């Protein structure tokens, strides 16, 4: 289980580059979402090549649809509201996981999970205290919707713990390309935008979701969505490193709170996995 924690953290680091890169690509958000998925597919299909023959599971389709709406809504919200608004509102997802994971997955929601989520979410709100604006209402609504679809994506992937959830990600990217195909070639991106789109596809959603689906089979749905909560904290760090914007006092405090919440929960999971291993050895 401790390896799953590191994979989830790695996924969050890759995801965190999305806000900056999406802003840098001067294309329609539907075109960006479609191109990103198009570039992700070769990597995913290559990794899945030995498992092309598989027994169809309706969960693959459910998760694939949730994936497609998650990535499309997130790109659209990032383009129509601030990056801070988009990612903060998307990370209302743990709330829906807390509500539905017990009902659908019959997974026990631990007290420490709930406390960690509350602390981390308060930290996120504090982190963007000066940036979470009421502007871009349409974008904010899209971001909230992406939080709902992201939550159900995690739940449906977790339901495939005895199957191969990577199939869902492949299906999800195919659905995304089909939905966005009409917009993808209405305008051509610049040379540097092609580079950003390739990075977005291969690494930011391709490799990241490969790591995520490996990890989600080893942790609960709530843990799977709670540990990546460092993603919305890392976005402003990249902005600072690449654009020289210095975070304010509230941002720094919020960053510390979220990192503490994630580290405490991650260490708790790792500690429990060591106990389980020692018990099995005895």
**Torsion from C-alpha of 241, 243, 246, 248, nearest 10 degrees:** -110
The SS3 of residue 244 is: coil
Please name the residues in contact with 279: beta carbons below 8 A apart, sequence gap of 6 or more: none
pLDDT of amino acid 34: 97
Please tell me the distance from the alpha carbon of residue 258 to that of residue 229, in angstroms, as a whole number: 7
Determine the pLDDT at residue 128: 61
Read off the tokens for 148. Answer: 């709902």
- Tell me the average pLDDT across 58-82: 92
Residue 136 — left, alpha, or beta (φ > 0 → left; ψ -120 to 50 → alpha)?
Answer: left
Mean pLDDT of 198-205: 96
For residue range 27-41, list pLDDT tens digits in order. 999 999 999 999 999
* pLDDT band, residue 57 (cuts 50/70/90): confident
Least reliable range by pLDDT among 12-16, 41-45, 124-128, 234-238: 124-128
Residue 281: its pLDDT value, please?
42
Query: What sign does the dihedral 239-244-247-248 (CA atoms) show?
Result: negative
pLDDT digit string (tens) for 85-138? 777 778 888 878 887 887 888 877 777 777 877 887 787 777 566 555 555 678
- Comparing 17-21, 137-141, 156-160, the range with the smallest average pLDDT is 137-141
* Structure confidence at residue 271 (pLDDT): 66
Write out pLDDT tens, residues 154-201: 999 999 988 889 999 999 999 999 999 999 988 888 999 999 999 999
% of the chain surpassing 90 pLDDT: 39
pLDDT of residue 276: 47
d(CA 52, CA 161): 18
Looking at residue 172, its pLDDT comes to: 97
Distance in angstroms (rounded) separating the CA atoms of residues 195 and 129: 33
User: For residues 265 and 116, what is the distance between their CA atoms, to the nearest angstrom?
Assistant: 7
Least confident of 6-20, 174-188, 225-239: 225-239
One-character DSSP codes across 8-59 = HHHHHHHHTTHHHHHHHS-S-HHHHHHHHHHHHHHHHHHHHGGG-S----HH
User: Is residue 43 over pLDDT 80?
Assistant: yes
Q: The tokens of 241 are what?
A: 């490193």
The reported pLDDT for the residue numbered 256 is 76
What pLDDT shows up at residue 278?
Answer: 44
Is the distance from CB of 10 to CB of 231 less than 8 angstroms? Answer: no
């Amino acid at each position: 289980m401790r390896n799953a924690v590191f994979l989830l953290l790695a996924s969050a680091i890759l995801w965190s580059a999305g806000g900056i890169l999406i802003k840098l690509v001067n294309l329609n958000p539907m075109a960006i979402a479609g191109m990103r998925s198009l570039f992700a597919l070769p990597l995913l299909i290559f990794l899945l090549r030995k498992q092309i023959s598989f027994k169809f599971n309706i969960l693959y389709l459910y998760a694939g649809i949730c994936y497609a709406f998650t990535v499309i809504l997130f790109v659209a919200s990032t383009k129509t509201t601030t990056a801070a608004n988009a990612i903060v509102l998307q990370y209302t997802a743990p709330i829906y996981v807390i509500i539905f994971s017990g009902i659908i997955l019959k997974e026990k929601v631990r007290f420490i999970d709930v406390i960690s989520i509350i602390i981390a979410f308060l930290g996120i709100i504090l982190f963007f205290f000066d940036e979470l604006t009421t502007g871009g209402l349409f974008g904010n609504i899209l971001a909230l919707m992406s939080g709902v679809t992201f939550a159900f994506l995690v739940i449906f992937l977790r339901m495939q713990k005895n199957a191969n959830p990577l199939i869902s990600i492949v299906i999800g990217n195919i659905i995304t390309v089909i939905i966005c195909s009409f917009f993808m070639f209405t305008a051509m991106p610049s040379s540097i935008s092609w580079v950003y789109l390739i990075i977005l596809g291969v690494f930011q959603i391709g490799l990241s979701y490969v790591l995520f689906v490996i990890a989600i089979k080893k942790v609960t749905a709530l843990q799977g969505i709670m540990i990546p909560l460092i993603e919305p904290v890392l976005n402003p760090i990249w902005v600072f490193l690449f654009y020289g914007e210095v975070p304010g006092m509230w941002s720094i405090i919020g960053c510390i709170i979220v990192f503490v919440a994630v580290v405490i929960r991650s260490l708790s999971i790792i500690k429990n996995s060591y106990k389980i291993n020692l018990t099995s050895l005895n």
